[in-house]
Amino acid sequence: MRNIRTQLIEIVVMFFVPVASLAMLRSIELEDAKLFPNYICYIMLVFAVIHAFQVFKSWRKDKAEKGEPAPFPMRRVAVALGLMIIYFLSMEAVGFYLDGFLFFLVTTLVLESGRLTAALVGRKAFCAVCFMAVLYLLFNTMLGVMTPSGIWM
């Protein structure tokens, strides 16, 4: 049942993208400027129809569910996603190197499966410092790459 629901969502998304794009293109007056994306959208619609047909055909053939899929580690992925978003949003304010160090340290500690000890935190902090120091030396000092400076560097 769950598989059928995700397949239905997939089909809807495959139709939605070209339809929404065609709707956005309608506001453009110059016909030639929208000709190529229009054709692409029509082609995408054709593929979406073929895919929907394939999926419906497979339902008729194989109605029985084949075993339970492996459990998805939702909590771990959600935590990683949240930390990444915080990392991106705070980068300009905090600065690339400090923010990168904090992201490295916090992520490795939060997602670590073992028990947190002072030694483990120290080791992770050391790894984070080394990684960011290598990046700084290689790219900032040697290649002169500009990065957001933020509150420090």
Please select the residue that binds another protein; options are 30, 118, 119, 151, rule is CB under 8 A. 30
121 is a contact residue toward another protein (CB under 8 A)? no
Q: How many CA within 13 A on the CB side of residue 87?
A: 18
Alpha carbon distance 128, 107 (integer Å): 11
Alpha carbon distance 11, 6 (integer Å): 9
For residue 65, what are its two tokens?
A: 């569910």
Please select the residue that binds another protein; options are 19, 86, 90, 91, rule is CB under 8 A. 91
For the chain, the distance separating the N- and C-terminal CA atoms, rounded to the nearest angstrom, is 53
# of chain residues touching another protein (CB under 8 A): 57
Phi, then psi, of 113 in degrees rounded to 5:
-80, -25
Per CB under 8 A, residues contacting another protein are 6, 10, 14, 17-18, 21, 24-25, 28, 30, 32-37, 40-41, 43-44, 47-48, 50-51, 54, 61, 72-73, 76-77, 80-81, 84, 87-88, 91-92, 96, 100, 103-104, 107-108, 111-113, 127, 131-132, 135, 139, 143-148
